[in-house]
Amino acid sequence: MAARRTSWTGQRVTPMGVPSIRVASPWARLWQPFWALPLAICLVAVVIGAAMPEVERVFADQLPGVFDGGPEGARSVLSTIASAMISVTGLVFSITMVVLQLASSQFSPRVLGNFLHSRITQMTLGVFVASFIFSLTVLRVVRSATATHEAFVPQVSVGLALLLVGLSVISLIAFIREITTSIQVSQVISDIGDATVRLVEGMRPEPVGEDGAVLGKYSEPDESISWSADPDQARLPVHMGERHGHLVSIDYAALLTIAEDLDVVLVCEITVGEFRAEGQPLATIWGRSVDSSGGDEAMAAVARVRSAFVFGTERSMFQDPAFGVRQLVDIAERALSPGINDPTTAVQVIDELHRILRPLVQQPDARPYITDSDGVLRVVHTPPDVEQMVRLAVTEIMHYGDGSIQVPARLRTMLDDLVAVGRTEHRPALEDLLATLAVEAMPDPDGARTSR
């Protein structure tokens, strides 16, 4: 059905690629929880710890003698490793909890995910627990000589346990370095800024011409392209059903495929990052072929559309650059609170926001239309809005920074630069923010110099 085309969907438009952004696939969601990687490492340790001694029984004469001690020596080594590893694991876990508490109180509760997703922390916990489990698994097969059985010492397995100890020491050093670096406010701000910039860069697809050549990453939008709902056409609303939460990601490629298969236009009624309760609107399917009677075919189409929207209990940086801005603004607000009173941190946040916003205001707003390979409009969505991002970055910091010397001056410096380099359509909003800042903030012509 992908070859069929209908004229009611609007005029033919320039082919537009699907936004090249990450999709929260089931595989990616599987590895998101903090415990996923440590659990996988532990399972591998159990399998190797159970299988390796059996391999040594069969190929004892062909394997090198890694450990020369007897059964008592092997038991002593493995017992020492197990007790030491479980003790250090508790220490690592305690340090992690302290860091999370510090991040929540000093920065923002919304930055906790950045710490929990640290692969170094997950690897460290996994290696320590794996060393403990591996040692216990091997310890059970160590046997002293009896009247009926010969002594058995899995030498290679004991050697692997010693190797895990060395790996644990290296992991501990890497963990300490990671922790001491990650709790620095400048590093936290920079990491969030880096992730946001990468996400913004990937949000805009590269338009492709008829000859297959890339036309440029940020081509000028075609103002003649538009779409409006035809009330005479059949439509099928898609609701949340029993789900609720924040929209984490949209699989645009899947929506495009669904729209082509059904020969319809899919209109997204939600933006990434928004919260939806049970039963709220999610999308609308428009088209002559739409079965709005609620039959099996309609329910199948609704289920396919729902599967392209991934929800979570909290916002994520998968496809939501505004969440990066939100985290930075939260850090600035916390720094400007009376209990902390750290305007220099707020200035660092403004500098990072400046870095994020500067390329944004030099680009046109992304087109909300996704077309198929024939240029037929198939999906209408709401891409990130530049002016909303700017207002999110400025208004709250402007409010809470009123009375500070550094903050209004740095905001003014940032907005002046954005006005100078921004596109014509973005300048009214920027100039409006500048005018508001001039009215509410304390004027200080020398503040820009003193805040450096």
- Domain span at residue 311 reads 238-316
From the CB of residue 105, how many other CB atoms can be counted at a distance below 10 Å? 12
- Is 129 inside any structural domain? yes
Angle between the N-to-C axes of helices 406-421 and 386-400, in degrees from 0 to 180, rounded to the nearest 10: 160
Query: In what side-by-side order are the strands of the sheet with 369-371?
Result: 235-239, 281-286, 265-268, 377-380, 369-371
Give how many domains the chain has, as a whole number.
3
Q: How do the pLDDT tens digits run along the chain, 452 residues long? A: 333 333 333 333 333 545 656 565 677 777 878 889 999 999 999 999 999 998 888 776 666 667 777 889 889 999 999 999 999 999 888 988 888 888 888 888 888 888 888 899 999 999 999 999 999 999 998 888 776 778 888 888 998 999 999 999 999 999 999 988 888 899 999 999 999 998 888 766 444 444 433 333 444 455 555 677 676 677 888 999 889 999 998 988 889 999 988 888 899 999 999 999 999 999 998 887 676 666 778 888 889 999 999 998 888 888 899 999 999 999 999 999 988 889 999 999 999 999 999 999 988 887 888 888 877 888 988 888 889 999 999 999 999 998 888 999 999 999 999 999 999 999 999 999 999 888 765 445 554 444 44
Residue 276: which CATH number?
Answer: 3.90.1170.30
Residue 204 counted as domain residue? no
- Give the Cα separation of 447 and 408 in Å (integer): 8
Among the candidates 181, 197, 213, a domain finishes at: 197
Query: Residues 77, 92: one domain?
Result: yes
Exposed/middle/buried for 22, CB within 10 Å: 0-12, 13-18, 19+?
middle
Which of 165, 197, 229 is where one domain is finished?
Answer: 197
- 350: exposed, middle or buried (Cβ count in 10 Å: 0-12, 13-18, 19+): buried
Q: Are strands 245-250 and 309-312 parallel, antiparallel or unpaired?
A: antiparallel
Q: Would you say 258 and 290 are in contact if contact means Cβ atoms under 8 Å apart?
A: no
Which tokens belong to 280? Answer: 């709220």
Can you read off the two tokens belonging to residue 389? Answer: 């991002």
